[in-house]
Structure 1
Amino acid sequence: MTLLITVIVLALLFDFINGFHDAANSIATVVSTRVLSPVSAVIWAALFNFVAFFIFKDHSVANTIAKTVQDRFTSPEMSPLPMILAGLLAAISWNLITWWYGIPSSSSHTLIGGFAGAFIAAYGFEAVRSGVVWATAIFIVVAPVAGMLMAYLISLWFLHSFRKSLITKFVSITIMVGVAWAVWNTLEFKKDFNGGASYTYMFDRKVSKDELKKALTFKDDHYKEYAPVIAAGKDSLGQPDASGTVYTIRTDYLKKPGQTTELSELTVAIEQGIGKTKAGYRLLETHRISEQADPKERFDTSNLKNGFETYWLKVIFHGANFKWILLGFIVMVIGGTTLVLSSINMSQTNTLFKRLQLFSSAAFSIGHGGNDAQKVMGIISVALIANGNIASMKEMPTWVPLACYTAIAAGTLSGGWKIVKTMGGKITKVTPFEGVAAETAGAITLFFTEGLKFPWKIGGEVIKGIPVSTTHTITGSIIGVGATKRLSAVRWGVTINLVWAWILTIPVSALLAAIFYELIKLFLR
């Protein structure tokens, strides 16, 4: 237990250090353009780092971090806490070294390098899921390039909007309509079980809802194709009757027109799950859910996880939806701004962009909090699994994300002025409108990667939620806005030094973790 507490404390310390190490990422442009004073900017960034707690609820990045090491090596039987401790010590050490020298390196790559390095030192390369490491490594390049291209295009959009031309206004309106359409089609609404199946079971004893949900979580390869179906049934599981013995399970299986697979196959798969309750049971009734079914049976809003009662408030403030609505709103505001740029003077334009920068920096801070706090959530969850406190990431207690978001916000409050100087001025001089372009591009990149699912497997792994570097992302975005002036406006000497620091982060962190692991073994003998 002492070792577990040490790991959790160090993980939160890493999160805190991450906050002040990466504070510059979300406030560098706001400070360099003098929209906010350094103190005000730090408070602003810390506030929206914590706001991310209420927005990012799928924890996909945390899941990816937790999957860095093969499950069998993080089970309690393998006593993996010393390796997790070594990885954290390595990550903290490299973060402090780069902070001291003012190098904006990546906390996420430091963490993955340390985590993987310690387990490789203990068990060899078979302990690590190569797909997770490769996906992270790929985005060492992809994230800054995506940020750079996005910032470059947004900057060009702004620059062309100063012209009194109907074509530029048409382009702005087209972009706004396209974004509105994309956001609408991304939103998650209530589940429609039309064409699905309903099962009503009676147990011979009282079964709690949590017990049944846990029983319906399984990884039996024989019934692998039904796992998502049963997961849907588990998530929409209604309340039992007064006796606590009768439950109705709904699934969206057989929804596709013309599908002929027999319902009995799904019944067997479901009963493989509920049999784990060790309670006797019998199937009272099963039927297909039709279009004419009672709306209470056909539709389900349990996937929209928030405390609101009104349906549309549930949709808007559902974590997976709100981040896209927020991002869409910011793009709409920017689009609306481009429509009036040609009719206002330079002083009014500068004032307008300074106000817009408050929105764009807030969005980037939310993306920073959502991406970086989840990395530590993944590590703490693995530690809890390793100690036998929980069985999987799905059982992660609420205090874990709350503590992680609080730690990163507190760290941001402590600042990181050496890196602010590098990010805000040494790479390229930034004006308010360029600051808006860079931060908006960075926020879009972070929001997309947080929910990104690779369309193909990497190293045999399905990767959803990429732990990208906020440092790399905003650096690429600042380079992108600098490139719209001329390529010589970017100080490539500084940029090349940063790239070398990025490339070295994972291997150096892994090496440090291996050294720390060997030292920890000496103390544990």
Structure 2
Amino acid sequence: MVTTLLVFVVALALIFDYTNGFHDAANSIATVVSTKVLTPFQAVLWAAAFNFLAYFVVKDHKVANFVSKIVFEHYVNMHVILAGLIAAITWNLTTWWFGIPSSSSHTLIGGFAGAGMTNALYMGSNALAAVSMHYIIPIILYIVLAPFIGLFVGYVITIIILHICKNARPAAAERWFKVLQLISSGLLSFAHGTNDAQKVMGILYLALISSKIIHSGAVMPEWIPLACYSAIALGTMSGGWKIVKTMGSKITKITPLEGVSAETAAAITLGFTEHFGIPVSTTHTITGSIIGVGLTKRVSAVRWGVTINLVWAWIITIPISALIAGVIFALLRITGY
């Protein structure tokens, strides 16, 4: 039974990574598509290649280690992991359907934490006893910090570029920025792969520990990162066109210069947080970067009504995912699955 459940959990984890890929594909391709540097098909192939390239470069898996410690192992079992994954996939598909660029990272973390907290209640403990505040607090802080870091870096990069290119011929400058946008889009896709694929690695690592396949502290089997990077790259190739429209045009009008600035800013921010092993949202980061770029023109260049709706989606993602996971875990207990 454990083996069958483990196979099911692994399959669901990879399905989540796949949904993460097509849900978050917009993060790295929205600007490059909206500026017509690449066609949508070319863009998803480009992004997927850089998603998978991360497998060959990143070997320390700090983000995966961070995610695996959000819920104390005493409160983690296969049903907790199962409920968390089902909740995360449900919220990912719901927000994708309505074209809302919410955070795949936070829905996974919220689902995992919510299921763990519900399990703590069944075990007669306080719900908050299940989660480690040492790991939860940085996640909550970076819900706010990541967009603002992206905004600041995007604003500064745009100002610097405008100053350097102030005497350039517009037509020549645009041609150069279209080339540079390929590089910046690739960097952002690489950062997306390193950051987001690792979150599911942490969940799968815990699943193997819960199934007693490996012991706590053991080296992560190599098939886990290979499978996760592959799944997220395949998901990216499927695209997420509803969210591309929101990210590429509804927040602010994007030119190739601004696309380079926004993507570079987001890649720098994600690289910084990945270095310290903090699982931040790619969606939040690139949205903040796009806003920062828009602010260099004027405050009214940013469509604040759209932006406020996005912020509300970000705020509710973790609690709703946690609630869904808690209900699913309770149903699994009631049905005796």
> By the TM > 0.5 criterion, same fold?
yes
Whole-Å Cα distance in 2 between the matches of residues 432 and 50 of structure 1?
25
Whole-Å Cα distance in 1 between the matches of residues 305 and 236 of structure 2?
28
1:135 alignment partner AA: P
For 1:457-494, what per-residue CA distance to the aligned partner results, in whole angstroms no more than 9, with x for missing partners? xxxxxxxx111000000000000000000000000000
For 1:307-340, what per-residue CA distance to the aligned partner results, in whole angstroms no more than 9, with x for missing partners? xxxxxxxxxxxxxxxxxxxxxxxxxxxxxxxxxx
Aligned counterparts, 1:431-510, within 5 A: 431-452=255-276, 465-510=277-322
Q: Aligned residues: percent identity?
A: 61
Question: Match for residue 4 of structure 1?
Answer: 6
- Match of residue 410, structure 1, among 221, 234, 237: 234
Whole-Å Cα distance in 1 between the matches of residues 183 and 23 of structure 2?
22
- Match of residue 13, structure 1, among 9, 12, 15: 15
The structure with the larger Rg is 1
- Root-mean-square deviation (CA), in Å? 0.9
2:83 alignment partner AA: A
For 1:155-177, what per-residue CA distance to the aligned partner results, in whole angstroms no more than 9, with x for missing partners? 000111134xxxxxxxxxxxxxx
For 1:363-385, what per-residue CA distance to the aligned partner results, in whole angstroms no more than 9, with x for missing partners? 00000000000000000000001
Q: Does 1:378 align with 2:202?
A: yes
1:138 alignment partner AA: L
2:207 alignment partner AA: A
For 1:429-481, what per-residue CA distance to the aligned partner results, in whole angstroms no more than 9, with x for missing partners? 000010000000000000000012xxxxxxxxxxxx11100000000000000
1:436 alignment partner AA: V
SS at match of 1:395: coil
Whole-Å Cα distance in 2 between the matches of residues 477 and 393 of structure 1?
37
Q: Does 1:348 align with 2:172?
A: yes
1:509 alignment partner AA: S
Change (3 A) 1:393 1:427: farther
Question: Match for residue 48 of structure 2?
Answer: 46
Deviation at 1:393, TM superposition (A): 4.9
SS at match of 2:305: helix
Whole-Å Cα distance in 1 between the matches of residues 320 and 74 of structure 2?
26
Aligned counterparts, 1:250-261, within 5 A: none
- Match of residue 81, structure 1, among 78, 82, 96: 78
Deviation at 1:392, TM superposition (A): 2.9
Whole-Å Cα distance in 1 between the matches of residues 268 and 218 of structure 2?
27
2:87 alignment partner AA: A
Question: Match for residue 182 of structure 2?
Answer: 358
Deviation at 1:73, TM superposition (A): 2.6
Q: Does 1:401 align with 2:225?
A: yes
Whole-Å Cα distance in 2 between the matches of residues 371 and 478 of structure 1?
19
**Contact (CA 8 Å) 1:147, 1:441: kept in 2 or not?**
yes
SS at match of 1:397: coil
Whole-Å Cα distance in 2 between the matches of residues 419 and 447 of structure 1?
23
Whole-Å Cα distance in 1 between the matches of residues 92 and 216 of structure 2?
29
2:118 alignment partner AA: A
Deviation at 1:394, TM superposition (A): 4.2
- Match of residue 134, structure 2, among 125, 131, 135: 131
**1 or 2, which has the higher helix percentage?**
2
Deviation at 1:72, TM superposition (A): 2.6
Whole-Å Cα distance in 2 between the matches of residues 132 and 107 of structure 1?
18
Q: Which runs of 5+ in 1 are unaligned?
A: 75-79, 164-341, 453-464
**Contact (CA 8 Å) 2:102, 2:317: kept in 1 or not?**
yes
Whole-Å Cα distance in 2 between the matches of residues 385 and 379 of structure 1?
10
**Contact (CA 8 Å) 1:117, 1:510: kept in 2 or not?**
yes
Q: Does 1:102 align with 2:99?
A: yes
Deviation at 1:54, TM superposition (A): 1.1
Deviation at 1:524, TM superposition (A): 2.1
For 1:354-410, what per-residue CA distance to the aligned partner results, in whole angstroms no more than 9, with x for missing partners? 000011000000000000000000000000011111113542100000000000000
**Contact (CA 8 Å) 1:144, 1:473: kept in 2 or not?**
yes
Whole-Å Cα distance in 2 between the matches of residues 389 and 450 of structure 1?
28
**Contact (CA 8 Å) 2:247, 2:287: kept in 1 or not?**
yes
**1 or 2, which has the higher strand percentage?**
1
- Match of residue 33, structure 1, among 32, 35, 41: 35
**Contact (CA 8 Å) 2:75, 2:119: kept in 1 or not?**
no
Whole-Å Cα distance in 2 between the matches of residues 364 and 430 of structure 1?
16
Q: How many pairs were matched up?
A: 329
**Contact (CA 8 Å) 1:381, 1:393: kept in 2 or not?**
no
Deviation at 1:87, TM superposition (A): 0.5
For 1:186-236, what per-residue CA distance to the aligned partner results, in whole angstroms no more than 9, with x for missing partners? xxxxxxxxxxxxxxxxxxxxxxxxxxxxxxxxxxxxxxxxxxxxxxxxxxx
Q: Which runs of 5+ in 2 are unaligned?
A: 121-126
Whole-Å Cα distance in 1 between the matches of residues 309 and 110 of structure 2?
20
1:128 alignment partner AA: V
1:143 alignment partner AA: A
1:472 alignment partner AA: H
Aligned counterparts, 1:167-316, within 5 A: none
